Amino acid sequence: MTYKNVLFDVDNTLIDSAAIAAEVLHKITAKYGYDVSAATVRGLVGIPTDKILKRLKLGHVAEMTAEFTTAIGEHKDELAFFTGIQSLLAELKSAGLNTGIVTSRTSAEVASDLGAFPEITSSNIIVTADKTTEHKPSGAPLEYAVQHYNLTKAETIYVGDAIYDLQAAQNANMAFASATWGALPTTDFSAATFQPQQPQDLFVMLTK
């Protein structure tokens, strides 16, 4: 199969951020009297913050989500691309492939927190959490990308680090490649189309 469109999750796929996000949300939940470890939160990173809190069956969802959005912005200077990602994006572009993002971040979070990553914010395809009413693991965000940007699904592959990303691709009937470099080691990606270990591996798999 020849792919023309490569859609990426952002957090812990392109940028190394999940550990920071988990620690920030852990501290916020503790402030509200909940005993939720950072490790537990890390296992849920990949879906919108309010959905994480609801899965944990916590109260004060709106308040904690708002606090998280503010607090995580204070850590934006700590974010960085995974090694090899910038080269991967440049090589995909040079090879004539379209790239874009489908993320659980809102458009406001992308604008406020990812300004130092023009390779992300200047993408031709950007789907944020506020574009759809359903979110990963639903296939709705990927379906939105296909319809809104006139993509051919059979020529499109999604790349992500979480089981929710794989499930979203499956629910959208789209090919999937695991961002193994940013994933938890216990994540089962056996159903993925590709399982690259490093970003350069993905380029080879998509262009051979």
- pTM value? 0.87
Q: What is the pLDDT of residues 72-91, one digit of tens each?
A: 888 889 999 999 999 999 99
Q: In the chain, what percentage of residues exceed pLDDT 90?
A: 79
d(CA 16, CA 13): 7
pLDDT at 1 over 70: no
pLDDT at 92 over 90: yes
> In the prediction, which pLDDT does 18 show?
82
